Chains A and B, each alone.
Chain A
Amino acid sequence: MRDFFKSRGFKLLLVAVVILLCLVLFTLITKIEFLSSQFSFITAPIQKVGTEVSEAICELLPDSTSSEEYKNKIKDLEEEIERLRAITIDYYNIKKENIQYKEFCEFKKTHANLNFLVSSVVGRSPDEHFQGFTVDQGASSGIKIGNPVVTSKGLVGHVSSVGEISCHINTILSPEAKIGCICAETGDCGVISGNFKLCEQNLTRMIYLSPGYTLQPQNLIVTSGLGGAYPKDLVIGKVTAVKSDENNASKYAIIEPTEDIPNTKDVLIILGEK
């Protein structure tokens, strides 16, 4: 035992412990990490190499994640995708509605002297010949037969029959439309009255053109306001062509309405002037 404590090895041990203790005390007192910073010059590159090698080896080895875990992950991700998809659809719907309401708002500001009622299309009968439709407002909201119906893009038609909570709209594609109109550029007057063939292409006619007409394709047609049934300057559509009728007795202009009437979803019904 005495020989153990007197041995060379034990003495070396004692020296090493003392040196290390001094180093610790030195680092604690002076806060200078002299030795560790010197070591990092050697250890950091070695650690980097070691990490890269171990990552490369891990990539080569087969994945230890079980298929059950992957299935659960996929299921969670699919649910997340569905949830986000639903939100996206809602977002686009709300955005579309917002754009439409902004257009309605602008239209109302432009025609500030008129009273409007917003209404939604709720029915399109299969027996309709001229794209007429039913909306969800009726006599209880103050609607009367003959009230003009518009959208932010232009005139759509007029109220042809009224129930308590719904009413039926005859469109400008119908021969019964009979709307007094005028060309905004040339001043040519006429009457809007559609027919079945043109209605199928979402077009209507401006009939009773005077012999000296000057309107051209792309001219804008608006309501003339004559007769009092429709307010003045409501946009109807644009001229696409001028043709002769079947008897060659008169000319008529083919009008493309500004509104896509077969696909209209919301309309403004003009109740009258303020």
Chain B
Amino acid sequence: MKDKHSIYRFIAYSLELLTLFVLQQSPQALPIISNCKPNLVLAALVIIILFEGAIISLWFSIFVGLLLDAALGIIPGTQAILLCILGYFIGYIAQNYFKKNILTALIISMLSIIIFYHMQFLLLYILKGYSEILYAYLNKCIPTIIYTWSTVIILYLPTKFFALCIKEKQDFVNLENLST
């Protein structure tokens, strides 16, 4: 029974991530601010990491990483490796040291998004030898971080709904105990 609920929850997460992926990829679906669009998939992933712990976060991080690699047309696994390491550690820390509420979600997501985007900027911009590093950092990397982080507030509720509602009752009690 526990496995059945977990499977439903993971399917819900997967559908949510795929829907957000399609939304963020669609050319005119999201408003463009300062030449940037938010990375909704990353924002949703961070919330999933907060609720699911290290091992599950690892798998979903790989899934999201592969999606992002496909979207950019780069070697599959480039961002997947980044995200799976990040997801595992953030998931471990969140599971053992943090309560699950909107405030911790905002803090953890901010840290995760900052770390991810800095690593991505290093890998996909600086190490590729592109010029105007500071300009690109200030005009692309930072606005994208802020814009992506601002969507965490919107995505927190639906992801929390999946995390809390598609669970066994015993898991509910454990989760509530962890939160208090």
Report the bound CA distance from A121 to B120 in whole Å.
24
In the complex, whether A123 has a CB less than 8 A from a CB of chain B is: yes
In the complex, whether B56 has a CB less than 8 A from a CB of chain A is: no
In the complex, whether A26 has a CB less than 8 A from a CB of chain B is: no
Using known A-B contacts A196-B131, A196-B140, determine if residue A127 contacts B73 with beta carbons closer than 8 Å. Answer: no
Report the bound CA distance from A254 to B68 in whole Å.
32
Report the bound CA distance from A265 to B70 in whole Å.
20
Which B residues between 13 and 40 are near A, CB-CB below 8 angstroms? 24-27, 30, 35-39
Contact with B along A141-178 (1 / 0, CB 8 A): 00000000000000000001101000111100001000
By the criterion CB–CB under 8 Å, are A195 and B72 in contact?
no
B71 CB contacts on chain A under 8 angstroms: 123, 125, 127, 134
Using known A-B contacts A129-B125, A196-B130, A197-B132, determine if residue A123 contacts B26 with beta carbons closer than 8 Å. Answer: yes
Q: Is chain A's binding surface mostly helix, strand, loop or mixed?
A: mixed
Give the residue of A121, A127, A197 whose beta carbon is less than 8 angstroms from that of B144: A127
A170 CB contacts on chain B under 8 angstroms: 73
12 residue pairs from A and B, CB less than 8 Å apart: A123-B26, A123-B27, A125-B24, A126-B148, A127-B39, A127-B144, A161-B73, A161-B74, A167-B73, A168-B72, A170-B73, A265-B27
In the complex, whether A52 has a CB less than 8 A from a CB of chain B is: no
Which B residues between 49 and 93 are near A, CB-CB below 8 angstroms? 68, 70-74
In the complex, whether A68 has a CB less than 8 A from a CB of chain B is: no
By the criterion CB–CB under 8 Å, are B38 and A126 in contact?
yes
Using known A-B contacts A127-B144, A160-B73, determine if residue A196 contacts B25 with beta carbons closer than 8 Å. Answer: no
By the criterion CB–CB under 8 Å, are A122 and B25 in contact?
yes
Counting contact residues on chain B (CB < 8 A from A), the size range is 20 to 34
In the complex, whether A124 has a CB less than 8 A from a CB of chain B is: yes
A121 CB contacts on chain B under 8 angstroms: 27
Report the bound CA distance from A90 to B73 in whole Å.
34
Report the bound CA distance from A167 to B120 in whole Å.
22
By the criterion CB–CB under 8 Å, are B36 and A126 in contact?
yes
Please give the residue numbers on chain B whose beta carbons come within 8 Å of chain A beta carbons, in ascending order.
Answer: 24-27, 30, 35-39, 68, 70-74, 120, 124-125, 129-132, 135-136, 139-140, 144, 148
In the complex, whether A273 has a CB less than 8 A from a CB of chain B is: no
By the criterion CB–CB under 8 Å, are A196 and B36 in contact?
no
Contact with B along A119-143 (1 / 0, CB 8 A): 0011111111100111000000000
By the criterion CB–CB under 8 Å, are B136 and A196 in contact?
yes
Using known A-B contacts A125-B68, A126-B24, A126-B38, determine if residue A195 contacts B131 with beta carbons closer than 8 Å. Answer: yes
| Beyond A126-B39, A129-B130, A196-B139, 19 extra complex contacts between A and B, CB < 8 Å | A123-B25, A125-B25, A125-B68, A126-B30, A126-B36, A126-B38, A127-B71, A127-B72, A127-B124, A127-B144, A129-B136, A161-B74, A163-B70, A168-B73, A175-B129, A195-B132, A196-B136, A197-B135, A265-B27
In the complex, whether A200 has a CB less than 8 A from a CB of chain B is: yes
Report the bound CA distance from A167 to B140 in whole Å.
24
Q: How far is the CB of A28 from chain B (nearest CB, A)?
A: 80
Report the bound CA distance from A208 to B130 in whole Å.
17
